[in-house]
C-alpha cells in the first residue's frame, strides 16, 4: 500500500473522529444551555425538585447521564460516518469467506482510492492467483491422465508385436530359418523401440522434476554437431535423406553437459528424420552473434500447422496425423529438448512454412568467466 493512500485513509478516520467529537460536544452544550427549559418541563410534569438546585450525589448522577448521552451521540455519529467503510469491510470479509469455502467466482468491487481499496485489489489478486493455481492443477491432472493413456498405447503396441512374434517362433518349431530370423529381428527391433520409449520416460521425469544433474564442461559445439551428424548418417541413408552441415564459424566453445547436449541435438535430428524425410534433405547451420551460438536444424517435410506449432514443445503432445507405429514415440522428444535447453540457460523455438521447418536453439557461449564442474 502506498503512503499516500495510508495517509488518506487515516485522515478520513481522524476527520470522522473530530466530527463525531464535535457533535457530542454540541449535544452536551445544547443540554447544558437548555437545563432551565428541561427543569421547567420537569416541574410542569409534577416533579418537586429542580435540576439547577441538585447537589452532591444527585449532581454526580446527572453529570453521568450527560456523559453517557455524549458518548451515545459520538458513537452514533461516528458509526454513520464510518458506515461505508464498515459495509466495505463486510464485503471483503464475505469474499474471503467464499474463498475459504472454495468459491473463486466472486470478486470484491474496488471503491475509492485508499487502504481499503488496496485490500480489495489484493483480495481480487489473491483469488486470481488461486484460480490460476487450480487451473494448473487441473492441467497437471489431465497431463497425468494423458501420460497413462499415451504410455498404455505406446508401450502396448510394440509389446504386443514382440509377444506375437515370439509366440509364433515358439509354437512353430519347424519354422524355416529365414522366417525365424526375420521374426527374431522384428521382435528385437520392437524391443529396442520399447527400450527407447522407456528411457525417454525416465529421462523426462528426471529433467522435469529437477532430478537430472548436469556436469558442466567446456566443449566445442561445432565439433559436437559434426560428430552427431556423422553418427546419424546410417539412419539418414535408410530414410533416403542427405544432410548438409554449414557452420559459419570453425569452432565455438560453450559450457554445458556434453551428454545432455548430444541428446538435445540428437532428438532434433531424429525428429527431422521422422517427420521430414519426405523432403529428402536435412540442413544444420550454426552461427555466433552477440555472445550466443545459434544452431538451426531444418527439414523440408510437411508444414506443421500453426495450431500444432504452438504446442510442439508440450509434453505428450503430438499432431494427430503423426500418431503411428512408424513415427509415434512418447511425445516427449521435443519436451526433453526444451528442458535441456533451459537447463543450459538457452532458448528453443520452432517455425514452419513452405521454405522448411526450422528448430532453432540458442545457447550462451563460454566467455572464460564461468567455471567448469570440479574447478
pTM value is 0.54
What is the DSSP code string of 304-324?
A: PPHHHHTTTTSTT---GGG-S
Chain segment 129-138, per-residue pLDDT in tens: 888 888 878 8
| C-alpha closest to that of 222 among 265, 186, 172 | 265
Q: CB–CB of 301/276 below 8 Å? A: yes
Give 296's strand partners: 285, 360
Burial call 32-52: b when 16+ CB within 10 Å, e when fewer: eeeeeeebeeeeeeeeeeebe
Chain segment 156-212, per-residue pLDDT in tens: 777 888 888 888 888 887 888 888 888 888 888 888 777 777 776 776 666 666 555
Own/partner contacts of 317-326, CB < 8 Å, gap of 24 or more, are 322/274, 322/275, 325/157, 325/158
- Cβ neighbours of residue 36 closer than 8 Å, sequence gap 6 or more: 52
- In this predicted structure, the answer to whether residue 115 has a pLDDT above a threshold of 90 is no
Q: How many CA atoms lie within 13 A of 153 on its CB side?
A: 14
All three cell numbers of 98? 467464499
pLDDT > 90 fraction of the chain, expressed in percent and rounded: 17
Fold designation for 146-208: Helix Hairpins (1.10.287)
Instruction: Give the chain's mean pLDDT.
Output: 77
| Phi, psi (degrees; rounded to nearest 5) at 296 | -115, 125
What is the DSSP code string of 87-128?
A: HHHHHHHHHHHHHHTT--S------SSSHHHHHHHHHHHHHH
Under DSSP, is residue 288 helix (H, G, I), strand (E, B) or coil? strand
Under DSSP, is residue 233 helix (H, G, I), strand (E, B) or coil? helix
- Measure the CA–CA gap between 328 and 274, rounded to whole angstroms: 9
Q: Per-domain residue ranges for the chain?
A: 3-130, 146-208, 217-364
Which class would CATH give 217-364?
alpha beta
Within 10 angstroms of residue 277's Cβ, the number of other Cβ atoms is 20
Give 361's strand partners: 295, 348
Pairing of strands 292-299, 253-256: unpaired
Q: CB–CB of 278/302 below 8 Å? A: yes
- The pLDDT value given to residue 74: 76
- In this predicted structure, the answer to whether residue 314 has a pLDDT above a threshold of 90 is no
- Measure the CA–CA gap between 366 and 216, rounded to whole angstroms: 11
Amino acid at each position: 500500500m502506498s503512503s499516500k493512500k495510508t495517509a488518506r485513509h487515516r485522515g478520513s478516520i481522524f476527520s470522522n473522529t473530530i466530527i463525531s467529537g464535535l457533535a457530542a460536544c454540541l449535544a452536551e452544550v445544547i443540554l447544558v444551555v437548555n437545563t432551565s427549559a428541561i427543569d421547567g418541563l420537569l416541574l410542569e410534569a409534577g416533579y418537586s425538585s429542580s435540576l439547577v438546585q441538585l447537589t452532591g450525589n444527585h449532581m454526580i448522577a446527572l453529570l453521568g447521564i450527560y456523559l453517557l448521552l455524549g458518548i451515545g451521540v459520538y458513537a452514533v455519529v461516528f458509526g454513520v460516518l464510518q458506515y461505508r467503510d464498515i459495509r466495505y469491510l463486510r464485503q471483503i470479509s464475505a469474499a474471503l469467506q467464499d474463498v475459504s469455502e472454495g468459491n473463486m467466482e466472486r470478486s470484491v468491487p474496488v471503491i475509492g482510492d485508499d487502504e481499503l481499496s488496496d485490500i480489495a485489489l489484493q483480495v481480487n489478486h489473491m483469488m486470481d492467483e488461486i484460480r490460476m493455481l487450480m487451473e494448473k492443477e487441473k492441467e497437471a491432472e489431465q497431463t497425468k491422465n494423458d501420460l497413462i493413456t499415451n504410455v498404455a498405447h505406446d508401450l502396448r503396441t510394440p509389446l504386443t508385436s514382440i509377444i506375437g512374434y515370439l509366440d509364433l517362433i515358439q509354437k512353430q518349431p519347424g519354422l524355416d530359418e529365414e522366417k525365424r530370423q526375420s521374426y527374431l529381428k522384428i521382435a528385437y527391433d520392437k524391443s529396442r523401440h520399447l527400450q527407447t520409449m522407456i528411457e525417454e520416460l525416465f529421462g523426462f521425469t528426471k529433467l522435469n522434476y529437477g532430478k537430472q544433474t548436469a556436469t558442466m564442461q567446456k566443449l566445442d559445439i561445432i565439433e559436437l554437431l559434426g560428430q552427431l551428424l556423422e553418427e546419424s548418417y546410417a539412419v539418414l541413408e535408410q530414410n533416403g535423406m542427405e544432410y548438409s552441415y554449414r557452420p559459419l564459424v570453425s569452432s565455438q566453445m560453450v559450457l554445458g553437459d556434453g551428454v545432455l547436449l548430444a541428446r538435445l541435438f540428437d532428438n532434433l535430428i531424429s525428429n527431422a528424420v521422422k517427420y521430414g524425410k519426405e523432403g529428402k534433405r536435412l540442413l544444420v547451420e550454426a552461427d555466433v552473434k552477440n555472445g550466443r551460438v545459434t544452431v538451426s536444424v531444418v527439414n523440408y517435410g510437411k508444414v506443421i500447422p500453426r495450431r500444432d506449432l504452438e504446442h510442439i514443445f508440450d509434453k505428450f503432445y503430438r499432431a494427430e496425423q503423426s500418431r503411428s507405429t512408424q513415427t509415434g514415440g512418447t511425445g516427449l522428444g521435443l519436451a526433453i529438448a526444451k528442458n535441456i535447453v533451459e537447463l543450459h540457460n538457452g532458448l528453443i523455438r520452432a517455425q514452419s512454412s513452405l521454405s522448411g521447418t526450422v528448430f532453432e536453439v540458442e545457447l550462451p557461449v563460454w566467455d572464460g568467466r564461468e567455471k567448469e564442474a570440479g574447478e
